Structures are given as structure tokens and as C-alpha cells.
């Protein structure tokens, strides 16, 4: 019996070390007294707030305000700029940048006016449910590649309902 009791603490320590080594580091670190980091942007450099609507991305939001999309992501703690969701409220930083032509989201603050369509547009087409670039190109008699080029569309199979496309 004495031999079993002498062995117990050593096995106990081994068991505790084994369990601790199997726990994820985030569980152990989250229990420390270090405050968690926060993603707060300084308000003096913020132009306003924009609520993300369905189909919007950081580039069209950046074009609406003339702001660098990477700065929007950084200010709001967005790790993957391709993953923003409708309903998110984004702080728009005062980091001006000229972006290439493309889809422009409606501005929600400031002068509220979106930039004029590019001079090469003959028509503006609002994407409806069921539309795709091929059908739109047949409707206007313009190549779908020309439409994609005029609107900086990289994936010809990906357009969003509500987008306003420049038809050259």
C-alpha cells in the first residue's frame, strides 16, 4: 500500500502535465490577466460609418468615398477583406486613394452622391434576379467581355443583384 501511495504523486504530476500539454494554447492564454486586444479606430480620422448592404464589397465601398479598401479593412479589424457581411457597420477612415474604375456602392454619408458614370458607358443596367453577363450582353448587343472589362469584373460568373453595370 505504501508503495502505491509513493507512486501516486508522480503519476498525478505526469497526468496533469499530459492534460496541460493537450489543452489548446488559447484556453491556457485566455485565462491570464492580460487584457484582450481591441480593434478601435481613432475617431478623428473617421469620415463616417457605412452599413454593408447585400452584394457590397470593400472595393465598391472604397470607391463610394474615395478611400483605400485596405485601410477600411485595417481600421475595422477585418482579417480577410473578402469576408464582409450585410449589416456590418464599418468605420470609413480618412485615407484617400484613387481606385480603378468599377462598381460604386451608394454613399451613405457625406454628399450622398455617387460619382458620374464613366464616359464610355452608353447605358446603365441594374442587375435583376436571374441576370448573368451573357444574357445582359445579348440584351444590349455588346460582348460580355467588354461589359466585364468596363466594370472591372474578374469572375464572369459572379455579379450581384442590384449592381449597376456600365454597358459600353
Question: How is residue 158 written as a grid cell?
Answer: 459572379
Question: How is residue 160 written as a grid cell?
Answer: 450581384
Per-chain mean pLDDT for the chain: 76
Position 90 scores a pLDDT of 92
Contact (CB, 8 A) for 56 and 103: no
How many other C-beta atoms can be found within 10 angstroms of the C-beta atom of residue 99? 15
Q: Residue 98 falls within a domain, yes or no?
A: no
Which tens digits make up the pLDDT trace of 95-106? 888 777 778 888
Which tens digits make up the pLDDT trace of 123-161? 788 888 888 999 888 888 888 888 888 888 888 888 888
Q: Residue 148 falls within a domain, yes or no?
A: yes
Q: Compute the distance between CA of residue 22 and CA of residue 74 in angstroms, rounded to an integer.
A: 34
Q: Residue 131 falls within a domain, yes or no?
A: yes
Which domain, by its residues, includes 155?
123-167
Q: Residue 42 falls within a domain, yes or no?
A: no
CATH number where 147 lies: 3.10.350.10
Which tens digits make up the pLDDT trace of 80-120? 888 888 888 999 988 888 777 778 888 887 754 444 445 67
Q: Residue 128 falls within a domain, yes or no?
A: yes
Rg, Å, the chain Cα set: 26
pTM summary value: 0.43
Overall number of domains in the chain: 1
3-state helix, strand, coil in the chain (%, to 5): 35, 10, 50
Q: Give the distance, in angstroms, between the CA of residue 85 and the centroid of all CA atoms in the same chain.
A: 7
Amino acid at each position: 500500500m505504501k508503495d502505491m501511495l509513493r507512486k501516486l504523486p508522480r503519476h498525478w504530476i505526469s497526468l496533469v502535465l499530459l492534460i496541460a500539454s493537450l489543452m489548446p494554447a488559447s484556453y491556457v492564454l485566455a485565462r491570464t490577466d492580460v487584457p484582450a486586444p481591441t480593434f478601435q479606430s481613432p475617431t478623428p480620422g473617421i469620415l463616417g460609418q457605412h452599413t454593408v448592404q447585400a452584394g457590397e464589397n470593400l472595393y465598391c465601398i472604397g470607391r463610394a468615398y474615395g478611400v483605400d479598401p485596405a485601410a477600411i479593412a485595417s481600421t475595422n479589424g477585418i482579417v480577410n477583406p473578402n469576408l464582409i457581411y450585410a449589416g456590418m457597420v464599418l468605420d470609413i477612415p480618412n485615407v484617400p486613394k484613387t481606385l480603378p474604375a468599377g462598381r460604386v456602392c451608394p454613399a451613405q454619408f457625406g454628399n450622398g452622391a455617387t460619382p458620374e458614370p464613366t464616359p464610355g458607358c452608353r447605358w446603365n443596367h441594374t442587375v435583376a434576379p436571374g441576370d448573368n453577363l451573357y444574357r445582359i450582353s445579348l440584351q444590349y448587343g455588346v460582348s460580355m467581355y467588354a461589359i466585364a472589362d468596363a466594370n472591372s469584373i474578374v469572375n464572369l460568373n459572379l455579379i450581384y443583384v442590384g449592381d449597376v453595370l456600365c454597358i459600353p
